[in-house]
Each structure stands twice: as C-alpha cells, then as structure tokens.
Structure 1
Amino acid sequence: MFPSTSPETGRDSWSDGPRPGSPYGPPPEPRSAPDVDGGERRERRGPRRIRRGGEPARRPDDATVEPDEEELPPVEVRRPLSLATAGFSLLLGIGLVLGAQTSGPGHRLPFAIIILGVQLLFVLAWTMAMRPPALLLVALVSVGVAVAADAAAVQSGVAGLAPLGYVAAGGFILGVLGQLVRRVDRVRVTDSLGSTLLIVVGVVAFGTLIVLSRVPAGTQAITVCLTASGVALTVARAVDAVAPWPRLAPQVPRGAAGVVGGAMVGTLVSAVLGSYLVTPFTPTKAAIIGLVAAVAAVLADLAVGYAEAGRLMAGEAPTMWVARHMQGPLGGFALAAPAAYAMCMLFL
C-alpha cells in the first residue's frame, strides 16, 4: 500500500546553483565599504550653509573672524584758521587787481614787481609744504625762473606765451639735473620730478598776467577773472568756517557748500562787473570767463587740501603751518591766471 522507497530517492544532492524550478537567483553578495572617492567628493563640498530644519550651520572651527575696520573721526575744522585764510585770499586778490591797474604801455615794471612778490610767496609756501629733495636748490631755481619769466614777459617784442614756455622748460631741466648731481637725492628723484614741475609751472603761470596786460582788453579781463577768483576763494573759506557740510572727505576740513557757493558768488560778481565795463565786455561774457576762473581757483585750493591730507596720512611731519595754509590761495590764483589768458583769447 505504501511505497517502500522514499520519494527523495534518486535525486541529486543540492548543488551550488539555484534549485531547479526556483524563481530566485543566487544570493546577493555582501555590500562593500563606501567608496573613498565619494567621501572625498563630499568633503570638498564643505559644510552645509543651512540645515534641513532651517537652522544656520555652525561656523567651522578654523574660520577666522575679520575685525571691523576702525573709522577715523573727521578732522576738525578750525574756524579762526579758515577765516584767516579767507582774509589772505581777499587781500591777495585785491593786490593783484589793483596792481593790474598800474600797468600801461611802457609802464609794465610796477605790475611786474607786484607779480614777482607773489611769486616769491608761492615759492616759499610750496617748497615748505611739499618738501622736495634738495629744497634749497629747488627754491633758488624757482626764484631764478620767476625773474626770467617776468623779464621775458615785459621785454618780449610780441605778447605771447612762447618765451614763458622756454623759461619753464629750462628751469625744470636745471632743477632736475641739480638734484641728480647730488648722490643723496638720486633715490627720491621720482618724487622730486612732480614737486619741481609744480613749483616751476606755478611760478611761470603768474607771468601770464603780465603778458595778458599787454593784450587789448587784457587789463579788464584780469580785473574780472581775478575778482571772481578772489571772491570765490574768500566765500569758500568763510563758509567752511561757519557750515563745513557736507564734508567732502573726513580727512579734509572742507565742505561742499563752500566750494559750490564760492564759485557761484564769484560768477555773480564777475557778471556785475561786466555790466560796467566797456566793449567787448558784456554781462554774459564776463560771467563766462569769471565762472571759469572762479572754478579753477576753487578746485586748485581744494586739491591742495587733499594733497596736504595725503601727506599727513602718510606720516610726514607738518612744517611751517603758515606757509602750508598760504599754499591753497596761491595755487588757486596761479591756476586762474592762465585760465584768464585762455578765456580772453577765446571770447574777447
């Protein structure tokens, strides 16, 4: 009734392969260790900025915290000094305008003497403020250039700027060569080029007023331009003593209100003068040439303030404060002089 043999008889033993008829494949191999390259790739990505929950990530331990830059307090505007500089600008403008009235055909010497005095002040102020290498040599060369420029402006047959250009070039070359001869000054020859050029060109610029006085309507142009420049410089400094805002730079004790207001008042005064002068002057022409001269003077004065602040920030010791504060108005009139000559040649 029952078979005497087991149903498993005759079957092969289990092999390494799958069972016959089994729907499953071989058993899966064990998982290997995580890939090293993938770990390095994740390390390169760096820490996450924001976690999944929205919390900010922690700052890495090796991250350095940069300290905040310390803001320097603005330089204080000294009211008495600003008023004194305004008074000097006014006196300098009055002296130049009245000196121009003494000039006439065959009588250029009085005006040339006044110009020479202003040039000596310019040399003193700018050499003491800029402190070029071989200061004494640069000062002596500049004085010689001033005398030669005034003589060329008075004695030249034709009123022009060519003789003044030759004098300026010769003085600059002589000043540079004199500093190159000295072994001590060769190291700072690059610094000396700029300072020597500025002083020599500024000295020669005043000589253009003598040339302009020899041109028809030149004396009237000097009156209009130098009056506008003097008023602009005076008003700008006076406003700085009362309301030096908005400050143009924390290290420069000047305000934008004085700079803009001075140029505007100077232009207005030149237009009023133009209504009283004879042909070819009109209020419009006088206002135009006065505006150019006033803006040139005010910007030159402002540039001197920036240069002085740069020297102080560089650690240079200030010297002879009277000369340093005379530098701005003198530089303003030095730039206004060739501007007056150019505007007279173009518009009159």
Structure 2
Amino acid sequence: MGTFCSGSGTIADVFPTTPRDSDAWDEDVSREIARSAPRRGDSGFYAGDRPEEPAEDDEDEFEEEVRFVPVRRQLSVAIGGFAALLGAGLILGAQSSGPDARLPYAIVLLGVQALYVLAFTMAIRPPAAGIVAGVCMATGLAADYLAVTSDPAGVLDLIYLLVGGFVVALVGQTIRARDRLQLRDALGGTFVIVLGVVSFATPLVLVRKPIGTQAVLVCLAAVALSLLVAHLTDAVFPKPRIAPAVPRGATGVILGAMLGTLAAAALGSVLVLPFTPAKGAILGFAVAGIAGLVDLAVNFSEAGRSMAGDAPTFWVARHMQGPLGAFALSLPVTYILTSFMLS
C-alpha cells in the first residue's frame, strides 16, 4: 500500500472525486441519447421497426405461382367440341350448297360472322366498339351477298369490301375525342375484326368453283380435327406447358397439327383429281398449322390482359374466340392454295 501511494500519482489522480459541472454533464448525456436513439426514415418506420423486404428470389417465385393458370379439363373438352361442331356445320353447309341453294349456306355463315364479331369485339375492345361491331356486321352481310351474286366468282370484290369496311370503321372511331386518342393502338385489332368477317364469306366463293367444295371439305376438316385433338390432349396431358399463364400444352398443338395434316392427306387420296395425297397434305399442313397458332395466340392475348390487370372477357366470348379466329384466318389460305395448286 505504501508502495502504491508513494508513486508519482495519488489516488485522487486515478479516481477523481471532484464533481463535474452539472450542466455540461447533462449536455453530454443528451447528445449520447440522441445519437443512439432510432431514427424515423422517409417511409415513416423507425430503423428498428422497418419490415423486412422479401428477397428477389422470393418475389420471382411468388409472381410465378400467381401467374400459373391450371388447365380445366372440362373446359378444354368443351372448346374442342365447339371447334368440331363449327367445322362440321361449315363443311355440311358447303356440301349441300348447290347453284340454286346457296342462301341457306349464306345464312349459316352470317350467324358465324355474328358470333365472330361478338367474341372479338368483346375481347379486343376497340374504341367505339358499338360502331365497329355495326360496321363489321354490315360488311359481313355485303360480303355474303357479293360472294353469292358476283360474276365471275372471285375474291376481288371482297378485298375492296375489306378495305372499305376498315376505313369506315376507322372513321367511326374518330367521332369522339376520347376514341381518337386510342385510334393508333386499335388499328390492328380493328383490322382483325373486319378481316375475319370478310373471310367467312370465302366458302361461298369456293363452292361456286369446280373443285372448291372438295377444297372446303379437306381444309376445314383439317382445321376442325387439329383444334379438337389439341384441346382433348390438353384435357389429358397438358405438357410441356407453353407458358405458366397459358393453360395449353405443346403436345396438343403439335399432335393436332400432325393429325390434321394426316386427315387432309387421307381425304386427298379418295377425292377426284386434281386432288392427290400430297396436295391434300400440303393444304392440311398449312391450314392446320395456322389454325393451331391462331388458337394459341388467342390464349396468349387473354393471358396478357389478365397479367396487365384488365377485366377478363365475358366467358362465352373468351372460349369461342380461339376456334372462331382459327377458322376465319384459315379460310383465306384455303382459297389461295386452292387457286394456285388445284386450278
């Protein structure tokens, strides 16, 4: 103890007992407390209370789970059945259409055109939808009349009518200012509606040609079978999935196109010349492939609208849209191939 006290320092130097100034002590303590206290961020949360943000991998997994749309088997069967019935009606109407009995077939086609306008107008939702639908129905009626009465039978008048109907529909969309703002984005959708309506009049032109009725049989049978097989396959084996948000499988699309081509080749082998199995296969491959792609594109469009947060299309129109669009866009190809390969 003596040794510790005899050093150069004292106990007072090591443990000062002199009281510090109270005001200075309070300021030091206040600064220390303020420095260690949690601060409120821009989001309104304190630093210790801020909720944890999910990791990027968790967000991606969550989005993928939300966007995955399961395949409804009964719905796939119903869509395939509708495609088969639509194809059967168009084929039977063409087979029963004679020189003096084309009016019943024209009435059938007008009903199909009305379904097409209803489904695609509700799905695409162009500006001034009522005006567009009215113009398209008038265009379809005029197309059926020209297809039956034009002499000689051809599609030149239908092409003129297509351009005229498209222009009138665009003019109708410029009446209101709010519709004019959406006109540029609606050009493609409006043209698709008018094109499909006019396309459904081409079977009336084909049945007036020597080999046209057989061409309608071969091509529409290929389209109907390809759509039926594709959707039935989706009901049983919808794999591999084309996209999580699209309830379709690649197996069904490929198998439908193959069997549609095979059916067209088989029909080409039993029909009269100039049909051959090779020509039937070429026609079937073209129209079945186009039909499958159009049907699939409709599913992608609906999935895109759903992911964008738009209101879904009315369920009847949504499920009819694929087969109707597939038949509509395969009919012009049928006419072109018939004119170049069989005439």
TM-score, with normalisation over the residues of structure 2?
0.80
Tell me the residue number matched to 1:335. 329
Instruction: Spell out the pairing of 1:128-167 with structure 2 (5 A cutoff).
Output: 128-167=122-161
Match of 1:214 among 189, 192, 208: 208
Find the counterpart in structure 2 of residue 325 from structure 1. Answer: 319
* Candidates 79, 88, 91, aligned match of 1:85: 79
**Residue 304 of structure 1 pairs with residue 294 of structure 2:** no
Does residue 117 of structure 1 match 2:111? yes
Displacement of 1:184: 2.3
- Cα offset for 1:211? 1.0
Residue equivalent to 1:70? 60
CA shift for structure 1 position 206: 0.9
Displacement of 1:317: 0.5
- What is the distance in 2 between the residues matched to 1:113 and 1:218? 19
Alignment of structure 1 residues 36-47 onto 2, 5 Å: none
| Distance in 2 separating the partners of 1:319 and 1:227 | 29
Q: Say if 1:176 and 1:192, in contact at 8 Å, map to a contact too.
A: no
Among candidates 227, 252, 257, match of residue 246 of structure 2? 252
Deviates most, 102-111 or 194-203: 102-111
Within a 5 Å distance, the mapping from 1:200-239 to structure 2 comes to 200-239=194-233
How many angstroms does 1:307 deviate by? Answer: 0.9
SS at match of 1:190: coil
Tell me by how many angstroms 1:66 deviates: 7.4
Work out the CA distance in 1 between the residues paired with 2:241 and 2:74: 18
Higher helix share: 2
- Give the CA RMSD over aligned residues: 1.5
Matched, 1:192 2:183: no
SS at match of 1:181: coil
1:96 maps to 2:90: yes
Q: Does 1:242 find its partner at 2:236?
A: yes
Supply the AA of the counterpart residue of 2:271.
Answer: L
Give, in whole Å, the separation in 2 of the partners of 1:171 and 1:244.
Answer: 40
Unaligned runs of 5+ in 2: 1-53
**Which structure: larger Rg?**
1
- Tell me if 1:105 matches 2:99: yes
**TM-score, reference length from structure 1:** 0.79
Cα displacement (A) at 1:191: 2.5
Aligned pair count?
285
Moved more, 70-79 or 242-251: 70-79
Q: Which amino acid aligns with 2:141?
A: V
Alignment counterpart, residue 282 of structure 2, candidates 288, 296, 300: 288
SS in 2 for 1:312: helix
Per the TM alignment, residue 270 of structure 1 is displaced from its structure 2 partner at its CA by 1.2
Counterpart of 1:176 (choices 170, 180, 183) is 170
Q: Partners of 2:306 and 2:249 in 1: how far apart?
A: 19
- The residue type paired with residue 244 of structure 1 is P
- Please give the per-residue CA displacement for 1:38-91, whole angstroms capped at 9, x wherever unaligned: xxxxxxxxxxxxxxxxxxxxxxxxxxx973351312211111111110110010
1:254 is paired with a residue whose SS is: strand
Retained in 2: the 8 A contact 1:145–1:204?
A: yes
- Residue identity over aligned pairs, in percent, reads 56
Residue aligned with 1:172, SS:
helix
Q: Deviations over 1:219-260 (max 9, x none)?
A: 000000000100000000110111111111111111110000
Residues 319-346 of structure 1: CA deviation (Å, up to 9, x unaligned)? 3111111000000001111111111112
Q: Deviations over 1:136-157 (max 9, x none)?
A: 1111111001001111111111
Of 82-91 and 125-134, the range deviating more from structure 2: 125-134
The 8 Å contact of residues 102 and 110 in structure 1, kept in 2 or not, is answered as no
Shift of 1:92: 0.3
User: 1:57 corresponds to which residue?
Assistant: none
Alignment-derived partner of residue 267 in structure 1: 261
What one-letter code is carried by the residue in structure 2 that aligns with 1:96? L
Alpha-carbon distance in 2 for matches of 1:191, 1:82: 31
Q: What is the CA distance between 1:111 and its match in structure 2?
A: 1.5
Deviation at 1:108, TM superposition (A): 2.0
Amino acid at match of 1:70: D
Determine helix, strand or coil for the equivalent of 2:242.
Answer: strand
Alignment of 1:24-35 (within 5 A): none
Structure 1 distance, partners of 2:215, 2:56, is 57
